Amino acid sequence: MKYSPLQKLFDSFSNLKLRKKLLLTYIFLVVLSLFVFSSLTYYSFSKTLQEKTLFSAEKSYSQAYAFISDRLQKVQNTMNVIVQDKNLIEIVNKTTSDTDIFTQMNDMNRLTTFLDSLEDKTVVNKIRLYVQDGLIYANSPENTKTHLYNLKDIVDTSWYRILEERDKRFLFCPLAYFEGSDVTDQTVSVISFLLSSKDYSKSIGLIRIDINTDALLEIMSNANTVESSVTYIQTESGIPVCSSNEQLKTFIKPASVMGQAERTEWSITNTTDGEKVFFRSQLIDKTDWYMVTFLPYNEIFSESKILLSRTIITAFVLSLIVYLLAYLISTSITHRITLIINQMNHVHKGVLSPLEQSKSKDEIGELIENYNYMISRIHLLLSEQFKHGKEVKNYELKVLQAQINPHFLYNTLDMVIYLAQEQKNMEIEDSVKALAKFYRLSLSKGKEVIALEDELAHVSAYINIQNIRYENKIEFIIDIDDYLLEFSILKITLQPIVENAIIHGIQGKEVKEGTIVISGNVVGEDIVLSVSDDGIGISADKLEQIMSGDFRNTKGSNYGIKNINDRIQLYYGASYGISFKSEYNIGTTVEIRIPANKQT
């Protein structure tokens, strides 16, 4: 038969000593808890950091977008003032054939004064007017301080052809559109044709307004709230206009920019060189330019990575500390359990030696205390039996041997070890508490006769332990009126009978589950208690062996039914004792008759 790796691992773990199992379990749980805690902390911190960073970036982006839109709107307003000025249109409409040189000189001064007044140098850096060839003021070379240039010199330029092809009122031109001597660093412009007042389909000149990019760059720089973040402007075709980082070599793909512009939240994408970024884009009003800001993904989460590193170091240190504590705790627990088991094995061999009293007052400490007390009682009874040789002392000795019940205690502790392996902490607590209660009631402060209420509690503690062992397959019912609980009974009378009902009755069934009912009533001056089970029943020949004492119990406490009967008769008289009613495959009822004496 082949075993899976998981089954082999489980078998290997099952064969480890309890101390190693506890140690590995503690370490696993602590490491798992620290891992979950660290992961949740990292996730929560990263999410919060992302939200705060994007919130701050959104505010800066919106403010920068508003400022840039305002600046470009101002440029457009200036352009509108120029192209709609009647005096300027009238002058540009003139030709050399109908204008003398003095009039042209006067027109040049008027145009220069007018265009000078519109240059504020904050946004409008320079205004150029391109007029028809032949006019005396149409021959100024480019890059001079004048405003007037020859239209013939630019008709073959790419930006002039683009304006013609796109048939737009205004064309916003990036640096890439310009060529030749009129190019300066970061030159961006807005251009528009001047139309004839007589024929709107005919252009008579061209206006070009150069924009002060320093003002735009300052605004875009203020939009960068994260280190290494970049804000730039690009055309709808992806041509860069200007950037807060002059060395910028990577951009967002145009399709992503235009797609994101239709939304209002930040998106995640990769730049042209593969860097993962958060980005935001928006079309600038009345232009074909997009303002884009991207924040490097790694920069946003750099603080999270630092936190993660510190958390891992802290978790490692805590794991070492927990390992040491777990080692000490597991050693303390298993050492005391091992001592008890070893002493129980000695009891099997007839060696009755006490344990060193535990300083701890927990359940294991209580077990050690009860064990030592029972060992001392056994020594005392052995001594008295040796001195007096009375038969009743022999029965008391058997009662105490039933109390200590090494086989039952060993099985229960073995069950506790199994529960510890399975990490069933609640079941461990219930088992140890029930075991402590079982032995505490067994001792009953040395009393031979106890209240029926305590005897029933003793049986209940035993049933609780067996139900944990047999997975709640035993239903236990007490059907006794409260007034009967005050009457007395010899201790450890019911428990051996219930034990036999479980082992030889219920456990003998195929389904191995059943019900035990303890009932009672007053009959004359006696109390009759009944212990009924729906087990497999007892055959006639086995019943005879049980009552004669010839039947040997190989599983339970070996405290026989005959011993209980003899003990009752020795204490109360021959008219009292135990009787059986059993039907094979139906069940068994044991009746205990004792005098109705109230507990004093």
Is 417 within 8 Å of 18 (Cβ atoms)?
Answer: yes
β-pair partners for 587: 583
Element (H, E) at 326: helix 302-348
Pick the CATH number of 425-595 from 3.30.565.10, 3.30.70.20, 3.40.50.300, 3.20.20.60: 3.30.565.10
Is 277 within 8 Å of 297 (Cβ atoms)?
Answer: yes
> What is the pLDDT, as a whole number, of residue 510?
86
Is 588 within 8 Å of 505 (Cβ atoms)?
Answer: yes
User: For residue 90, how many C-alpha atoms fall within 13 Å in the half-sphere facing its CB?
Assistant: 6
> What is the pLDDT, as a whole number, of residue 558?
40
Distances (CA, A) of 188 to 18, 22, 145, 182, 184: 79, 74, 18, 11, 9
Report how far residue 190's alpha carbon sits from residue 66's, in angstroms, rounded to the nearest whole number. Answer: 19
> What is the pLDDT, as a whole number, of residue 134?
80
HEC secondary structure over 7-52? HHHHHHHHCCCHHHHHHHHHHHHHHHHHHHHHHHHHHHHHHHHHHH
Report how far residue 250's alpha carbon sits from residue 236's, in angstroms, rounded to the nearest whole number. Answer: 16
Report how far residue 8's alpha carbon sits from residue 19's, in angstroms, rounded to the nearest whole number. Answer: 20
Retrieve residue 97's tokens.
Answer: 């054939």
In this structure, the number of other CB atoms found within 10 A of the CB of residue 46 comes to 17
Is 194 within 8 Å of 178 (Cβ atoms)?
Answer: no
Is 497 within 8 Å of 463 (Cβ atoms)?
Answer: no
> What is the pLDDT, as a whole number, of residue 348?
72
Pick the CATH number of 85-214 from 3.30.70.270, 3.30.450.20, 1.10.4190.10, 2.40.40.20: 3.30.450.20
In this structure, is the dihedral angle defined by the CA atoms of residues 263, 268, 269 and 275, taken in order, positive or negative?
positive
Radius of gyration of the chain (CA): 51
> What is the pLDDT, as a whole number, of residue 400?
47
pTM of the model: 0.50
Distances (CA, A) of 84 to 8, 93, 168: 90, 13, 16
Please report the beta strands in 300-432, taking only residues with DSSP state E, as ranges in sequence order.
none
Retrieve residue 376's tokens.
Answer: 């001392």
Residue 431's φ and ψ, nearest 5 degrees, are: -65, -50
Report how far residue 16's alpha carbon sits from residue 129's, in angstroms, rounded to the nearest whole number. Answer: 94
Residue in the structure block whose two tokens are 């958390």: 311
Retrieve residue 541's tokens.
Answer: 């020949």
Report how far residue 155's alpha carbon sits from residue 191's, in angstroms, rounded to the nearest whole number. Answer: 13
Taking 70 as the pLDDT cut, the residues of the chain under it are: 1-3, 9-11, 13-14, 17-19, 140-144, 179-186, 247-250, 303-304, 333, 358-359, 361, 384-406, 547-560
C-alpha 551, offset from chain centre: 59
Residues of the chain with CATH 3.30.565.10: 425-595
Parallel, antiparallel, or unpaired: how do β-strands 203-211 and 230-235 relate?
unpaired
User: Whose CA is closest to 385, among 403, 405, 400?
Assistant: 400
Is 364 within 8 Å of 337 (Cβ atoms)?
Answer: yes
